[in-house]
Structure 1
Amino acid sequence: MNDKKIELGLRFDNSYANELEGFYVACLGAKAPSPVLIKLNETLSQHIGLNTTSVEDLAKLFSGSESPIGASPLAQAYAGHQFGGFNPQLGDGRALLLGEVLDGSGERVDIQLKGSGRTPFSRGGDGKAVLGAVLREYILSEAMYALNIPTTRALAVVTTGESIYRKQYLPGAVLTRVASSHLRIGTFQFFSSRGEQGKVKQLADYAIARHYPELKDSKQIYLDFFCAVRDKQAELVAKWLLVGFIHGVMNTDNMTISGETIDYGPCAFMDNYGADTVFSSIDRNSRYSYANQPIMAQWNLARLAETLLPLLHDDEDEAMALATGSVTDFWDIFQHHWVVGMRAKLGLSTEDEGDFALGEQLLASMSEEEVDFTNLFRCLIRDLESDTTESAKLFNHAEKYLLWRKSWIARLAKDKLSLSERITMMKAANPLYIPRNHQVEYAIEAAEQRADYQPFEELITVLANPYTVQVGAEKYSEQAPSSFGVYTTFCGT
């Protein structure tokens, strides 16, 4: 362990450490043998006010070996339902919250290390991360940011000079990520499950002040707080589905109060559409499959509502009725966000009561047809531009799709947009580039096996502009070769 401090010019204002004593354990990162800075997100570092310093100092800082002046390193406590089973104590077993930073506009963000060593919550684990898992989170989280989906962001990648055993020895690494906060549904569950209702209230008050200050004068503030979190989660999951993203481990400890995507372990984007698509090696019962994600988001929110019941109303039955109604409303809110997004993907600017069904019928026509989800929507744009039906060639059997297409063309005829306006809308809603699984794996393999970071750099450069055609980037919009096989992801712990 090391307690040397580095000056970075960051405006630390550590409200979690200062206001929530008993919600964390203060600790330091382990000293890395020979930390090397592999990647610094220059744009993000400038946004949070990180002053330029030596590469060596940044490597020490972002490995956890040393701390910045003003930081209050700590491991947060939380519980969580993991694949339906409740664990009353999880916590940051391999993560370290350095502190909170205020940028030039006063925006508050957490800076957290992942893989910096053991904490009091490590439960026998080594608290370390391997390079592949760190690069995956960097790639996926920055891709999500470019897709305009709320997410934690990657600030830096450092290799530690260690070899970490995960079925084989792999290079050790630490990811530095930035988030609006790391408050989770599981944070509320930690104290609720212990009967510490006063701390649940304290946490709710803190979360409201930090994320939903507009609620401060509400007469039903805790119900409104729950509804605000519900609305954020409904919109988030709708956005996931609209780009074919599958989180893979939607446990309550991985669902944030801020509505940001967090923890990119067994996650991936679909190539071929399939409602039951699962990539996670540990999701053996398809709990978090593509189509199940809104269902599980609602289930997780019900767990949050349970922790807030004593705050919703003094009468237990009335509190339950308020919570049940608010949880039930999730589905309508999710569907609203999904259909709004689907209209944009299909080039529709007006509302029609049949639009939800139109979107679902398209997905149904794609089922079991091995149709590339991302490329189909881009092909619809090309069809409109050239007045063709080239998109039908993506199907093995296009009968259902062609019937759907007739309905879509008829719906377009009722819409007010010009062709150029429609194409502009669709190009802004349908990415051309996503983190293709084979490209992600190629970048990771090159880095882990050969210390070659060029594929990683090229991939994140393309993914930073997912909606714009990039000359020479054709391979990044192509499906995996048949030799790639069935794709499976792992949590990386």
Structure 2
Amino acid sequence: MAFTLDGDDVCQPISPTPIPDPYWVGFSSSAAQLIGIELSDDGYPRDPQWLEVLAGNSLEVSNHQFTNPIATVYSGHQFGVWAGQLGDGRAILLGEIAGQELQLKGAGMTRYSRMGDGRAVLRSSIREFLCSEAMHALGIPSTRALSIVGSPLPVRRETMETAAVCSRLAPSFIRIGHFEHFASSQQYVRLKELADLLIRNHYPECLNAEQPYLDLYSKICERNAILVAQWQSVGFCHGVLNSDNISALGLTMAYGPFGFLDHFQIDHVCNHSDQAGRYAYHRQPQIMHSNMACLASAFLPLIESSCDEAKAQTILRDALEHFPRVYAKTWQTLFRSKLGFEVSHENDIGLIERLIQAMHDSRVDFTSFFRQLGSVRQEQKPAELLLRDQFIDRPLIDCWFGDYLERLKLESSDDIKRKSKMNAINPKYILRNHLAQTAIENAQNGDYAEVSRLLRILSKPYDEQAEYEDYSIAPPDSLQKIAVSCSS
């Protein structure tokens, strides 16, 4: 359901700023199905007016008119520091269609643009488009990306680039920052309206709870604890886990500087602007927990409506501490499955942690290793495994494989069934930075075929796709450190 709060203190009614000479760069037929867009044989909308709408040049298409486009205000903590009022500085919510909110990123300036120009560039739009759809295909909750529309309109970043508009879909784009904004500005009526909106449209089970707002808070925490465990399980680094970039629905959102791990480094930082490593891979659970603490502070006025301040703080503190328990349980379950374990054993966590440390020490490719692990047979000996060649310390990894092979004997599945189950959780294809960079460079030269090809490959990340084997291989050392910044 669309964001239905209105008023000058909540949002700015604003139409997108048109771009000249729009053209298709990428389109997701999968996302299009969510809102019932009819497609031509080429995979693009049958109605050409969709190009104008998704470029921000029109508000009407196929008997549907977006009558109230808005940009919303929110606040938040950025890199651990209170940043005050923020808001949709270049994202405009067109409205609701078929139960999804449709938002254009890069659609022009709003009153929340601050010093920005309200535009997005082709480079960052391609990355967001591909990663949004890749995450969905991996089974990880995410906002969806419907399209990229390009334009020759020049946009200055570090260098002169061209503009693009990325259209996004989600049941709601409500962020933790929306709650923080109304709580920090003591707009408690608005805060309650926002919570009620979220319960009514997205968490209806909370209506019957003894304390609906506490139940809502707990469920938001739970969804985001599960989400960050899923990120860890596929080696995904968000890059800018500010509180204003966290979804109240537990969706991956705000794809800026992000990256999937290639050669595993537990303290990998994907955003070169994050010089302190605040959002490094191994710190993501801690940072998400911190963001849930920010949300707890914002929820305090809601809980205080039914009890005194001291009790409200205690209740929220207890609810917050459920986060690490949910995260740990989910993480353990996911990594057990990645190793092919269907039942739990007391030594499993130690076995997982030993492997992760060994992978870090040897910079083993995260995705390829877990995918290949499914081919290990119980009757093999450690010295016979080609996987051991990826590790520097052979005696250490031989010891680990010995323990792993013994552990597999406790499983009921045979090697064939186990491999099938492991391949269903260990992807073969992820959006590696060097692959995205190739698609970007081709697109900047007017060739958009690689964007479509990558989208097709990433839509089936667990399939073998023999014709695209090269896309599953780790990049050479020369392409390992492609830098990604907040500039987009």
Q: TM-score range by the shorter chain?
A: over 0.9
- Cross-structure match for 1:151: 142
- Cross-structure match for 1:57: 49
Counting only pairs closer than 5 Å after superposition, residues 16-27 of structure 1 correspond to structure 2 as 16-17=3-4, 22-27=9-14
- Cross-structure match for 1:4: none
Decide whether the 8 Å contact of 2:228 with 2:288 is kept in 1: yes
**Is the aligned partner of 1:477 residue 2:464?**
no
Distance 2:148 2:49 in 1: 13
Distance 1:138 1:386 in 2: 44
Q: 2:236 aligns with which of 230, 236, 245?
A: 245
1:56 deviates by 4.3
**For residues 33-75 of structure 1, what are the alpha-carbon distances to aligned partners after superposition, in whole Å with 9 as ceiling and x for unaligned?**
1111222222321231224566642221111111131442100
- Cross-structure match for 1:468: 463
1:249 aligned partner, one-letter code? V
**For residues 466-489 of structure 1, what are the alpha-carbon distances to aligned partners after superposition, in whole Å with 9 as ceiling and x for unaligned?**
111112211111111222252211
Distance 1:193 1:17 in 2: 21
TM normalised by structure 2 equals: 0.94
**Is the aligned partner of 1:133 residue 2:124?**
yes
Distance verdict in 2 for CA 1:363–1:306, change over 3 Å: same
User: Which aligned segments of 4 or more residues in structure 1 are displaced greater than 3 angstroms?
Assistant: 17-22, 51-56, 385-388
Q: 1:410 aligns with which of 402, 406, 410?
A: 406
Distance 1:55 1:70 in 2: 16
Counting only pairs closer than 5 Å after superposition, residues 136-285 of structure 1 correspond to structure 2 as 136-285=127-276
**Is the aligned partner of 1:399 residue 2:386?**
no
Say which is worse superposed, 47-56 or 92-101, in terms of deviation: 47-56
Secondary structure of residue in 2 paired with 1:469: coil
Secondary structure of residue in 2 paired with 1:439: helix
Distance 1:386 1:470 in 2: 28
Distance 2:282 2:109 in 1: 36
**For residues 389-421 of structure 1, what are the alpha-carbon distances to aligned partners after superposition, in whole Å with 9 as ceiling and x for unaligned?**
111011122333222222222221112222222
1:358 deviates by 2.0
Decide whether the 8 Å contact of 1:350 with 1:416 is kept in 2: no
- Cross-structure match for 1:363: 356
Say which is worse superposed, 161-170 or 269-278, in terms of deviation: 161-170
Q: 1:372 aligns with which of 356, 365, 371?
A: 365
Decide whether the 8 Å contact of 2:358 with 2:391 is kept in 1: no
Say which is worse superposed, 47-56 or 185-194, in terms of deviation: 47-56
- Cross-structure match for 1:29: 16
Q: 1:452 aligns with which of 447, 451, 454?
A: 447
Structure 2, unaligned runs of 5 or more? 40-44
Aligned residues: 474
- Cross-structure match for 1:67: 59
**Is the aligned partner of 1:487 residue 2:482?**
yes
Distance 2:371 2:480 in 1: 24
Decide whether the 8 Å contact of 2:26 with 2:448 is kept in 1: no
2:415 aligned partner, one-letter code? L
Distance 1:94 1:134 in 2: 13
**For residues 191-238 of structure 1, what are the alpha-carbon distances to aligned partners after superposition, in whole Å with 9 as ceiling and x for unaligned?**
111111221111111111122111111111111111100110011000
Say which is worse superposed, 284-293 or 455-464, in terms of deviation: 455-464
1:424 deviates by 1.2
Decide whether the 8 Å contact of 2:136 with 2:144 is kept in 1: yes
1:491 aligned partner, one-letter code? C
Distance 1:185 1:386 in 2: 50
Distance 1:76 1:256 in 2: 14
Distance verdict in 2 for CA 1:337–1:178, change over 3 Å: same
- Cross-structure match for 1:3: none
- Cross-structure match for 1:118: 109
1:75 aligned partner, one-letter code? A
1:19 deviates by 6.2
Say which is worse superposed, 217-226 or 384-393, in terms of deviation: 384-393
Distance 1:298 1:65 in 2: 40
Decide whether the 8 Å contact of 2:26 with 2:451 is kept in 1: no
Decide whether the 8 Å contact of 1:28 with 1:73 is kept in 2: yes
- Cross-structure match for 2:42: none
Distance verdict in 2 for CA 1:194–1:366, change over 3 Å: same
Decide whether the 8 Å contact of 1:79 with 1:89 is kept in 2: yes
Distance 2:433 2:18 in 1: 33
TM normalised by structure 1 equals: 0.93
Distance verdict in 2 for CA 1:385–1:405, change over 3 Å: closer
**Is the aligned partner of 1:39 residue 2:26?**
yes
Secondary structure of residue in 1 paired with 2:161: strand
**Is the aligned partner of 1:312 residue 2:303?**
yes
Distance 1:468 1:385 in 2: 23
1:126 aligned partner, one-letter code? D
Q: Identity of paired residues, percent? A: 35
Distance verdict in 2 for CA 1:158–1:86, change over 3 Å: same
Distance 2:134 2:244 in 1: 22
Distance 1:398 1:335 in 2: 30
Say which is worse superposed, 51-60 or 289-298, in terms of deviation: 51-60
**Is the aligned partner of 1:300 residue 2:296?**
no
**Is the aligned partner of 1:421 residue 2:417?**
yes
